[in-house]
Structure 1
Amino acid sequence: MSNFSRPSRRDEFDTAIICALRLEFDAVAFLFDEFWDTDGNSYGKVPGDGNTYMAGRIGNRNVVLVLPGMGKVNAASAAANIITSYNRVQLALVVGICGGVPYKNDGTDIFLGDVIISESSIQHDFGRLYPDGHERKEGLLDNLGKPSREIITFVKTLQTKIYLERLLTRAVRHLDTFQHPPNIREGSVLEANSPSKYEYPGMAKDKLFEPTYPHKHHQGCSTCSQGMSACQQSRELSCSELHCDEAHLERQRIPGIGEAWKLVVHFGPIASGDSVIKSAEDRDKRAKEMKAIAFEMAGAGVWDTLPCIIVKSVCDYAYSHKNEEWQNFAAATAASAARALLELHTPPDKSLPPIAKRSDVPLIEGNATRDTSRQSNRINAASGGIIGNNATGNSQQENIIGPVSPDSGPCVIL
């Protein structure tokens, strides 16, 4: 029997996990320790909230899991609804699969099955489309904000030797439960699906084709015979079905004697947008411009709404060559890394009062209040504030506003 008591209210949940695909949702759900909303025991939601929530426990965290669908608009809507119904959520994880950039800027290889953890998120498809190509908008107000100070320091800490070792050890242990479950829980995703679906596909199936070698029929198709053009049918077929010539492989992982797969985690910028990248040329161009190491479709929608970390695993190389063999394994790997990350993250103190609502913030005019008595106005940056340099109040007034800065919370400097 669990030593954890079932939460009685929505404000006892501090973590949200957002998945765009069902296979991602299933993988995350398998790693829940308990579900709090079985047998119709729903926590409800505010009127107008379009999310469907699954509530449960992962370790010592009360978590809600949401499946909004693909695209940053759906993700943004889900995040906005989360903060209305579950207003104590302090951390959102966007978990699932992504397209990986084969090589980082420093030349480090990224392979299928590797995990990507965000240091920042960039909207790669926000801009103007000209006849000669796409121009991304890069103005200050056109880009996503940087993470909160707490997220920045936590992700940096994860990159230290001792924390990275802890992250990898825990993630591998959780991944093993997919492939060798001690028992299959009633109602779990593995009850209806064989655990073998989450097995590592093997290094020999990790093949990277040259950027200029297209995925299409190489003979017998009038459409595919025209330069880089490809017919719709060829886009739905695998490389083996199209007989893609492996003489055009740029890289293939061939294990040495006794060499086993090892989980690798990369940290860096993740490009996010509504377009699935299926072009090696566009992938490499955008990755170079933005220093991105992966492409996905949900993070940008959550990034500026909730404190957010994107945790993804590489299932393809973001180019035309179709390869779905890695999706389930990558989903399980991302879920395992996300759980490991949660176990290393310090949860918020449940005894703290909720963040003040906008209506709770005292009115500030310039740098003076309307009260003529001596008083202190302390505005937490998380609640927002207006700072003025026009001190017109009574000399006995003491107006202390802090800590308010662009880095610590919503802020307008006048």
Structure 2
Amino acid sequence: MAVFGVLDTDVKAHTGSKHNYYLGEMNGKKVVIAPLPVGRTGKAAAAGTVAALCNEVSSIELVFMVGICGGVPFENTKYDKAINPGEYKRPNVRLGDVIVSYPIKTGGPAFLEFDYGKIRDIDTRENIKANLKDIFKCSLRLSNKALEAARTVKDLYENIRETPWEGDIAAFQKKDNTEKFAKPASESGSSSEFQLKPDEAPQVHFGIIASSDSVMRNAEVRNAIAEAENIIGFEMENAGVATAADMEDKRCMFVRGVCDHSDEGKEKSWQPFAALAAAAVTKSIIAKIPGN
């Protein structure tokens, strides 16, 4: 897994459990890595994994969901500034970029759960907007500690372009002889405006991620939801993680690498690099959380 590559210590398997857990450290903080069951995705698998983890490792303080997602490209955005003072403007999310789940206004949500099943019965973009109250569900709040740490990373990134994750990505790629986690040379059907160039580092975007139990593979539906709620990414596990963590009286945070554009042209070539980039950004956030 990509997250193994950014640990500061060797990975150790946690013994004495029927679940697969792995132990390590990031920036002096102890971490437990709990992969989803092989071949399973979605809210149920994520919720079950988090519930089991919290029950077996009672000292867990924060739960990070780290992985891949579909991004929302936005052609008219200058992506060097994701957030403009006083007014949010959706960034152009490219293949290889990273999304940190983050509220775009005080007291607002950092992620939203929506019912994709209801969307399938809606024919047009206008009807989707008219039925948003039926599509979206209430979302739980994320960890205040993690959000504060993310705010610090965000401020340093946007004001002085501090990018510690670049070093972690490069260090792991240098050790990885398979080149599995290298950036793909190109993505069929995508212009360079919508994917990282070979010599570019990932942009990190702070905004709202939408969560559903079905894969988003429709550009028209994607755009309608994104425009209505300022969504910049889509994935399938965050809602399950948040629900299970809340039931265990834990808090969570989501960091996702962008491997496709949530449309009909899904491919898998960007998945390894996107996962590595998300893991490296997560490490940067964990570094800013106080305590050991």
Q: TM-score, normalised by structure 1?
A: 0.56
How big is the shift at 1:164?
A: 7.1
> CA–CA distance in 1 between the matches of 2:157 and 2:196?
30
Higher relative helix content = 2
- 2:140 aligns with 145
Structure 2 letter corresponding to 1:90? E
- 1:51 aligns with 19
How big is the shift at 1:65?
A: 0.8
Equivalent residues of 1:121, 1:303 under 8 A apart = no
- Residue identity (%): 28
Q: Is the counterpart of residue 81 in structure 1 residue 55 in structure 2?
A: no
> 3-state SS of the aligned residue for 1:197?
coil
Equivalent residues of 2:2, 2:275 under 8 A apart = yes
How big is the shift at 1:180?
A: 1.1
- 2:99 aligns with 116
Structure 2 letter corresponding to 1:158? V
Equivalent residues of 1:180, 1:195 under 8 A apart = no
> 3-state SS of the aligned residue for 1:57?
strand
Q: Deviations over 1:176-206 (max 9, x none)?
A: 122212xxxxxxxx4xxx342222224x547
Is the alpha carbon distance of 1:266 and 1:253 closer, same or farther for their aligned partners in structure 2, counting shifts above 3 Å?
A: closer
- 1:28 aligns with 3
> CA–CA distance in 2 between the matches of 1:78 and 1:147?
18
> 3-state SS of the aligned residue for 1:288?
helix
Is the alpha carbon distance of 1:172 and 1:318 closer, same or farther for their aligned partners in structure 2, counting shifts above 3 Å?
A: same
Is the alpha carbon distance of 1:264 and 1:252 closer, same or farther for their aligned partners in structure 2, counting shifts above 3 Å?
A: closer
Structure 1 letter corresponding to 2:21? Y
Between the two proteins, the alignment pairs up a number of residues equal to 259
How big is the shift at 1:93?
A: 1.1
Q: 1:62 aligns with which of 30, 50, 60?
A: 30
Q: Which of the two has higher C-alpha Rg?
A: 1
- 1:132 aligns with 122
Q: Is the counterpart of residue 269 in structure 1 residue 252 in structure 2?
A: no
- 1:99 aligns with 70
Q: Is the counterpart of residue 345 in structure 1 residue 289 in structure 2?
A: yes
> 3-state SS of the aligned residue for 1:109?
coil
> 3-state SS of the aligned residue for 1:323?
coil
Is the alpha carbon distance of 1:121 and 1:88 closer, same or farther for their aligned partners in structure 2, counting shifts above 3 Å?
A: same
Structure 1 residues 273-352: aligned runs within 5 Å = 273-304=212-243, 305=245, 306-347=250-291
Unaligned runs of 5+ in 2: 78-87, 103-109
Q: Which moved more, 1:119-128 or 1:59-68?
A: 119-128
> CA–CA distance in 2 between the matches of 1:263 and 1:137?
34
> CA–CA distance in 2 between the matches of 1:146 and 1:125?
19
How big is the shift at 1:59?
A: 3.0
Q: Deviations over 1:53-75 (max 9, x none)?
A: 11222331211111123101111
Q: 1:174 aligns with which of 168, 190, 196?
A: 168
Equivalent residues of 1:207, 1:252 under 8 A apart = no
Q: Which moved more, 1:321-330 or 1:308-317?
A: 321-330
> 3-state SS of the aligned residue for 1:196?
coil
RMSD over aligned Cα atoms = 3.0
How big is the shift at 1:33?
A: 3.0
Equivalent residues of 1:178, 1:195 under 8 A apart = no
- 2:152 aligns with 157
How big is the shift at 1:151?
A: 3.2
Structure 2 letter corresponding to 1:340? S
- 2:82 aligns with none
Structure 2 letter corresponding to 1:84? N
Q: Deviations over 1:44-94 (max 9, x none)?
A: 35xxxx632112223312111111231011111111122211122111111
> CA–CA distance in 2 between the matches of 1:30 and 1:303?
25
Q: TM-score, normalised by structure 2?
A: 0.77
Is the alpha carbon distance of 1:165 and 1:274 closer, same or farther for their aligned partners in structure 2, counting shifts above 3 Å?
A: farther
Structure 1 letter corresponding to 2:112? I
> CA–CA distance in 2 between the matches of 1:176 and 1:116?
19
Unaligned runs of 5+ in 1: 1-25, 182-189, 209-248, 349-414
How big is the shift at 1:329?
A: 1.2
Is the alpha carbon distance of 1:63 and 1:288 closer, same or farther for their aligned partners in structure 2, counting shifts above 3 Å?
A: same
